[in-house]
Amino acid sequence: MDRFIIEGGVRLRGKVSVSGAKNAALPILAATLLADGPCTLQDVPDLYDVRTMIGLLGELGVEAKRRKDGALVTRVVDASPVTASYERVRAMRASICVLGPLVARRGRAKVSMPGGCSIGVRPIDLHLKGLKALGARIPMEAGYVEAEAPRLRGAEIYLGGTAGSTVTGTANVVMAATLAEGRTVIENAACEPEVADLCDFLRAMGAKVKGGGTPRIEIQGVASLHGARHRVIPDRIEAGTFLVAGAITRGEVEVTGARAEHLGAVRDFLQATGAELAVRDGSIAVRASNRPRAVDVATLPYPGFPTDLQAQAMALLAVAEGISVVSERIYPDRFQHVAELNRMGANIRKEGPSAVIQGVLDLSGAPVQATDLRASAGLLLAGLVARGATEVNRVDHIDRGYERIEERLAALGARIVRKPYAGSRASDRG
Ligand code: EPU
């Protein structure tokens, strides 16, 4: 597995453009299973997770080709396969997004139950509740969910659990409802921009969907969906990561393509730490010249502060003046980066689903290892500001969600190199 070697201490300067959103692209790719004609998708990032989804779609009879201009063109060539294997789902949990489209379009789906992963227990009970409400019969057999329904029927569904709404659960139920007979209303739908983007794509395919991006989504089922063109929204998590990179190195970074309206809580957080932000037409710039101030943060469903930026925010707070409390309300166990940040000299104490961070003046480079994508991003950010060299191992985690991040950080002045590590391979992804 590759690793990154980072020599910290450079103030990042310059412009970086944001890629298309991974978490919008994945359900949108799954939605191409519903289309009767070809779909052309622009700004689908070239990431490990996207390739995993394309591999799964291939097994499900969907051909996907990258055009020279980068657009991804998909076409269903065989509508008979219905199985997403344990190997696929284990490699990437978002594989579960094929469940709704398969049962809606092919009448049957056999999808491996995802297990827990490095960020904690991640049940799919709400996905199943929604699909059952639409009339699917869902027995569990040997670790597989087998859903069946000759034709789904619209229903009123409350889609919430103890942790609030579900992003991919909402995506699954919306996709299934597009081809159901009659009207579906989803209450407590996830409001994340990625769900809204999926709804826009489904509408372009001929679906009748209203309210994407709000807690109430209404779908009037149609008999079939056609192919469509769509441009995936910019990745707000990647944009937020670059903004934190600018702030933590006390540099000046402009993230082009970032959508300010998707980053309200993140901008608010950065400003509270003392960073200056400038929202321009189609970009957000960050400038920080002083040590950050301590700030309390709680992760929440959108439009709250995203859990996918919690580790990155913690890296910034690790060097802040004062004590911060970070509370994780989505994944109470998503704190694997804490011990690694402490190995770099941070002073962070985990207290239940929170972390108490006593800011330190500086961090020192060390070999570190992370177990999930965003935790790795947090360690990478810490490495940018640490004294000496930081070696971030298991770069395969970062490659799942950030395209060529080392090249883009290097273009901003960071001293970062990727070192190939011969003879091993990535496995057991969360
Ligand atoms: N939950 C349930 N039951 C369910 C589904 C979810 O209790 O059936 C709980 C989860 O355990 C969690 C909360 O609800 O406590 C929210 O989970 P959600 O279903 O919204 O998460 P997800 O759809 O599995 C997506 C992103 C994650 C991101 C979360 C939260 C994709 C492909 N993944 O996951 O992204 O952290 O929403 O915003 O969209 C990442 O990109 O690194 C990543 C992990």
**Residue range 22-231, CATH number:** 3.65.10.10
CA of 168 to the centre of ligand 1 (A): 7
Give the C-alpha separation, 198 to 43, whole Å.
14
pLDDT score recorded for residue 223: 98
pLDDT, position 424: 47
CA neighbor of 184 nearest in space, from 225, 115, 130, 241: 130
What distance in Å separates the CA atoms of residue 246 and residue 235, rounded to the nearest whole number? 17
In the reported structure, the alpha carbon of residue 321 is separated from the centroid of ligand 1 by a whole-number distance in angstroms of 32
Backbone angles phi, psi at 316, to 5 degrees: -65, -45
H-helix segments, 79-166? 86-91, 99-106, 125-133
Label residue 165 left, alpha or beta by phi (over 0 means left) and psi (-120 to 50 means alpha).
beta
pLDDT computed for residue 69 by the predictor: 96
- Among this protein's residues, is 117 annotated catalytic? yes
| Per-residue pLDDT, 410 | 98
Question: Angle CA(234)–CA(410)–CA(287) in degrees, nearest 5?
Answer: 65
What DSSP line would sit under 150-205, residue for residue? SS-B--EEE--BTTB--HHHHHHHHHHHHTSBSEEEEES----HHHHHHHHHHHHT
Give me ligand 1 centre to Cα 122, in Å. 7
Amino acid letter for position 359: G
Judge contact between 395 and 1, C-beta under 8 A. yes
Listed residue (70, 73, 132, 71) closest to 100, CA to CA = 132
Distance, in Å, from the CA atom of 31 to the CA atom of 243, rounded to the nearest integer, reads: 31
- Measured between its terminal Cα atoms, the distance across the chain in Å is 16
Q: Whose CA is nearest to atom 2 of ligand 1?
A: 123
pLDDT of 422 reads: 53
Q: How many Å apart are CA 246 and CA 75, to the nearest integer? A: 41
pTM of the predicted model as reported, rounded to 2 decimal places: 0.96
- pLDDT (0 to 100) of residue 394: 85
Contacts of 419 (CB under 8 A, 6+ apart): 2, 3, 4, 5
Residues 6+ apart with CB under 8 A from 268: none
Question: Which residues lie across from 234 on neighbouring strands?
Answer: 20
- Given ligand 1 and candidates 56, 168, 172, which is best to mutate, with the most ligand atoms within 8 Å of its CB? 168
Assess contact for 290 and 250: CB atoms under 8 A.
Answer: yes
Question: How is the beta sheet containing 108-112 ordered, strand by strand?
Answer: 83-84, 108-112, 144-148, 140-141
**Cβ of 26 less than 6 Å from ligand 1:** yes
pLDDT score for 116:
60
67 contacts 94 by C-beta, under 8 angstroms: no
* 276: enclosing H helix or E strand: strand 276-280
pLDDT, averaged per 10 consecutive residues of the chain (430 residues), comes to 94 98 98 98 96 96 97 98 92 95 98 78 92 95 90 97 94 98 98 98 98 98 98 98 98 98 98 97 96 98 98 98 97 95 98 97 94 94 98 91 96 96 47
Ligand 1 atom closest to 127 (CA): 8
CA 298 – CA 163 distance, rounded (Å): 13
Q: Given the DSSP bridges, would you call strands 297-299 and 323-328 parallel, antiparallel or unpaired?
A: parallel
Q: Report the pLDDT value the prediction gives residue 114, as an integer from 0 to 100.
A: 83
User: What class does CATH assign to 2-19+234-420?
Assistant: alpha beta
Is the Cβ atom of 398 under 6 angstroms away from ligand 1? no
Is any ligand 1 atom within 6 A of the Cβ of residue 394? no
Q: Exposed, middle or buried: residue 271 (CB in 10 Å: 0-12, 13-18, 19+)?
A: middle
Calpha distance 183→366 (Å, rounded): 56
168 CB under 6 A from ligand 1? yes
27: cis peptide before it, omega within 30°? no
Domain boundaries, the chain: 2-19+234-420, 22-231
**Is 427 exposed, middle or buried (CB count within 10 Å of its CB: 0-12, 13-18, 19+)?**
exposed
Give the DSSP letter string of 3-28.
EEEEE--PPPEEEEEPPBPHHHHHHH
Closest Cα to atom 5 of ligand 1? 124
The whole-number pLDDT of residue 163 equals 85
